[in-house]
Amino acid sequence: MTIMDKLAVDGGTPIRTKPFPAWPIFDELEEQLLLEVVRSGKWGGTGRILLPEIEEKFAAAHDAKYAVSIVNGTVAITIALQAAGVQPGDEVIMPPYTFIATASSALLFGAIPVFVDVEADTLLLDPEKVEAAITPKTKAIIAVHIGGAPADLTRLKAIAAKHNLRLIEDSAQAVGAKWNGTGIGAQGDLGTFSFQSSKNINAGEGGMILTNDEALADMAWSLTNVGRIRNGGWYQHEHIGWNLRMTEFQAAILVAQMTRLEQQMTAREKNAKVLTELLGEIEGIQVLRRDPGITRHAYHLYMFKLDSAFADRIDKNDVIAKLVAEGIPASSGYVSLNQNKAVIHETKKWTGDERIYSCPVSERLCDKEVLWLHQNMLLGDESDVHDIVNAVRKVIGSY
């Protein structure tokens, strides 16, 4: 074994010592637009200087007719569910392989998460298992576009239509993604997005709701604006709503961030294609299946797997620690939400009984198989990709 073969955790030379591209990316445009907002004196969510611009541009980028800006992506799901008519006690089908906000956004007002397992080769909600979970209390399905990969909207829309259910797209990680050539977010009844610091469009915090249904857009707007109605009086509150508006400061940053979206998406897809090809050649590694319907992947995360036989005999966290030592900041990802104690406890508060869902695919993926690389790692050049591949090959080969 040469010094180059010796793992960095054992005193060898790391594959990589230089950092990956920093995030967030910004320049004078953000500074200029923020200064314009400061000087305008219209700082809040009612000034409506740059907010209409970002709503219009974001909707157009996703082939949507209507956009409602909102304080964050979690509350965006809550408001989308409420605008769609989901009530406390109603059941909402969702995958367990997702951030806790998908569940907590429903539980915030007493809607009940019902977990349906994911596909092992995509990590996305398994349409084959959805219908068996539908009950008379089911009112909506949340399709999570995990990592930036659109879920199978064709099949999920058909299931929702067959059972008269609302389809909500949790698109927090999927800005700019497309399913069958059309932007995600308004292919279901409503779609929600996040602009939290790690996301591909970053305003520190913030969110957006998209839809092609004017009535749903108006209701989402009202719930976000203290129950007012569009073009109504200031004290004309016709619904119970809340002040959940985005500020002009966030809108300024987002208008600037949107100018880089196309270039950044192109870079991520180009590098991800090379990464997929090269990782697929390493024994012990499995790359995810990309459905032909995914005509554009947002790659908020690049996710790949240890194959089953390999994962059964090693510790995934050991692999991650060794990759990090080689200069590759890989991470483990979620705990399957059907096993999350806070979700189970909060659900019991609303239902009176402890609901335990069996999602063996998601549980295994979380515990043993899936590794993550974050989106900024795909914004460099092809040498970055080769460093990732060489580190994975070196670490996996050490076993």
Per-residue pLDDT tens digits for 161-182: 999 999 999 999 999 999 999 9
Picking from 361, 363, 372, 364, the residue whose alpha carbon sits closest to that of residue 304 is: 372
From the number of C-beta atoms within 10 Å of its C-beta (0-12, 13-18, 19+), residue 7 rates as buried
Interior angle at CA 77, CA 71 and CA 83, nearest 5: 100
Rounded Cα distance between 169 and 263, Å, is: 24
- Long-range Cβ pairs for the range 224-230 (8 Å, 24+): 224/68, 224/70, 224/79
Residue 5: predicted pLDDT? 81
Residue 247: predicted pLDDT? 98
In the chain, % of residues over pLDDT 70: 99
How much is the average pLDDT of 313-333? 97
221: pLDDT strictly greater than 80: yes
Model confidence at 3, pLDDT cuts 50, 70, 90, reads very low
Residue 356: predicted pLDDT? 92
Residue 4: predicted pLDDT? 57
How much is the average pLDDT of 378-395? 98
Q: Quick: pLDDT tens for 127-171.
A: 999 999 999 999 999 999 999 999 999 999 999 999 999 999 999
Q: Quick: pLDDT tens for 57-87.
A: 999 999 999 999 999 999 999 999 999 999 9
2: pLDDT strictly greater than 80: no
User: What is the average pLDDT value for the chain, to the nearest integer?
Assistant: 97
In the chain, % of residues over pLDDT 90: 98
Q: Quick: pLDDT tens for 17-39.
A: 999 999 999 999 999 999 999 99
Residue 201: predicted pLDDT? 97
1: pLDDT strictly greater than 60: no
Rounded Cα distance between 142 and 99, Å, is: 13
373: pLDDT strictly greater than 90: yes
300: pLDDT strictly greater than 70: yes
Q: Are 268 and 379 in contact (CB under 8 A)?
A: yes
The pTM (predicted TM-score) of the whole model is 0.97
Strands (DSSP E) found in 268-308: 285-287, 294-296, 301-306
Residue 164: which residues within 8 A CB-CB, separation 6 or more? Answer: none
Q: Are 75 and 94 in contact (CB under 8 A)?
A: no
Rounded Cα distance between 50 and 375, Å, is: 27
How much is the average pLDDT of 241-267? 98
How much is the average pLDDT of 107-117? 98
Residue type (1 letter), 78: T
The SS3 of residue 93 is strand
